[in-house]
């Protein structure tokens, strides 16, 4: 079995990590702010997209995991926080 796509959600957004041939793409959206209006609450979201080659150095993969964690959790986490997202990327990479 080969994992080529994983969808994940954090408290602040959601993303898909996709292996597309020789590239890995990370695409998703995160909450920027919630605005109260007369008709209810309006959520303002922002999309993000990252891509890197499957052969990327480990340090570069870790940086993408750190960015993904910050987008979905809405804060810069510790190594333990980032490790969860790094495992998801590793599954798609086949590492």
What is the model's pLDDT at position 3? 86
- Mean pLDDT across 53-72: 95
Angstrom distance (rounded) from CA 4 to CA 11: 24
Residues 12-22 pLDDT 10s: 999 999 999 89
What is the model's pLDDT at position 94? 86
What is the model's pLDDT at position 95? 63
Q: What is the mean pLDDT of the chain?
A: 93
pTM for this model (two decimals): 0.88
- Mean pLDDT across 51-77: 95
Sign (positive/negative) of CA torsion 80, 82, 88, 92? negative
């Amino acid at each position: 079995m080969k994992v080529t796509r994983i969808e994940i959600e954090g408290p602040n957004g959601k993303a898909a990590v996709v292996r597309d041939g020789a590239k890995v793409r990370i695409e998703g959206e995160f909450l920027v702010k919630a605005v109260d209006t007369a008709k209810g609450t309006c959520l303002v979201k922002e999309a993000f997209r990252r891509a890197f080659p499957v052969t990327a150095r480990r340090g570069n993969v870790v940086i993408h995991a750190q960015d993904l964690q910050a987008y979905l959790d809405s804060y810069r986490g510790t190594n333990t926080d980032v490790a969860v997202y790094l495992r998801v990327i590793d599954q798609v990479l086949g590492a």
